[in-house]
């Protein structure tokens, strides 16, 4: 067991963490199968942290095939208590333009057939967890304050729509998401946030707006993967700056 308490889960564009002084890699086996990869232990900005690439270190695991239960169980049992989850999203509302960073405060789950709970086998009683506020307010405020301290264009709040993937959404689907009150759309926000709550982990998402969602933005044509990659690459420079700023404050 390590005395590190902070984990960073990297999404699209963040399969490794520049500046992390790696001390060791730990292979974990869980009751829910294999995680996305070994947990990387290291030092970032003077603090011990752990890092896990959500899609695998080669970015080979699609959103609907990620073993979210194994990932969160492994991190918890490695000794962490807080998780900063980095994820690429599409912008729906006008304030969610690429390549902005967003710290959502609500989430709506549109996924299906994913292992979404730890409480389903060999139970002594039925367990419910409160999910009124799905993200840790304290951790969100740390992220927001650090983003502002280094001059990042970051947005406080918004509702994350978690869709199944791996395909992108239709224009009509995005219209529905906006009617439902969603501001950004991604494919990995759930069940990750819910599992973190079941495990008692402080969890917050650092969402990078990689593109306008379908039917949004100037021209509102087909989504260009070249533009997505460009925006993600630009934004991840800022994410790495943010992580180096926020880790010492946590």
Q: What's the rounded Cα separation, in Å, for the pair 159 and 103?
A: 9
Q: With respect to CATH, is domain 6-249 assigned 3.20.20.140?
A: no
pTM: 0.91
Instruction: Check the annotation: does 159 bind a ligand.
Output: no
Instruction: Check the annotation: does 112 bind a ligand.
Output: no
What percent of the chain has pLDDT above 90?
A: 72
pLDDT greater at residue 110 or residue 10? 110
Domain ranges of the chain: 6-249
Asked if residues 154 and 100 have their Cβ atoms less than 8 Å apart, the reply is yes
Instruction: Check the annotation: does 212 bind a ligand.
Output: yes
Instruction: Check the annotation: does 50 bind a ligand.
Output: no
pLDDT digits (tens, 9 = 90+) for 118-144: 878 776 777 889 999 999 999 999 999
Band the pLDDT of 3: cuts 50, 70, 90: very low
**Facing residues of 115 across strands?**
none
pLDDT digits (tens, 9 = 90+) for 139-188: 999 999 999 999 999 999 999 999 999 999 999 999 999 999 999 999 99
pLDDT greater at residue 161 or residue 1? 161
Nearest in space to 213 (alpha carbons), one of 248, 236, 182, 189: 182
Q: Is 215 exposed, middle or buried (0-12, 13-18, 19+ CB in 10 A)?
A: middle
Q: According to the model, what pLDDT value does residue 178 have?
A: 98
Q: Summarize the confidence of residues 16-33 as an average pLDDT.
A: 87
pLDDT at 2 over 50: no
In eight-state DSSP terms, residue 248 is G
Mean pLDDT of the chain: 90
pLDDT at 106 over 70: yes
Instruction: Check the annotation: does 204 bind a ligand.
Output: no
pLDDT at 14 over 90: no
Instruction: Check the annotation: does 187 bind a ligand.
Output: yes
pLDDT digits (tens, 9 = 90+) for 207-221: 999 899 999 977 666
């Amino acid at each position: 067991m390590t005395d590190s308490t902070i984990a960073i889960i990297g999404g699209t564009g963040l399969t490794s963490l520049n500046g992390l002084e790696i001390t060791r890699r730990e292979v974990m086996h869980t009751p829910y199968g294999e995680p996305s990869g070994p947990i990387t232990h290291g030092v970032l900005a003077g603090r011990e942290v752990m890092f896990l690439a959500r899609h695998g270190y080669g970015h080979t695991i699609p959103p609907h095939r990620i073993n979210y239960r194994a990932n969160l169980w492994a991190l918890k049992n490695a000794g962490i208590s807080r998780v900063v989850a980095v994820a690429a999203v599409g912008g729906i509302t006008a304030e969610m333009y690429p390549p902005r960073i967003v710290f959502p405060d609500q989430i709506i789950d549109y996924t299906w057939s994913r292992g979404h709970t730890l409480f389903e086998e060999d139970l002594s009683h039925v367990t419910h967890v409160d999910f009124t506020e799905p993200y840790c307010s304290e951790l969100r405020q740390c992220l927001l304050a650090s983003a502002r301290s280094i001059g990042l264009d970051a947005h406080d709040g918004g509702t994350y729509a978690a869709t199944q993937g791996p395909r992108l959404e239709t224009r009509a689907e995005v219209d529905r998401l906006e009617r439902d009150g969603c501001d950004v759309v991604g494919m990995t926000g759930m069940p990750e946030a819910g599992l973190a709550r079941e495990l008692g982990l402080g969890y917050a998402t650092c969402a990078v707006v990689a593109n306008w969602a379908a039917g949004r933005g100037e021209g509102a044509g087909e989504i260009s993967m070249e533009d997505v990659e460009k925006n993600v690459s630009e934004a991840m420079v800022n994410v790495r700056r943010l992580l180096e700023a926020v880790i010492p404050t946590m």
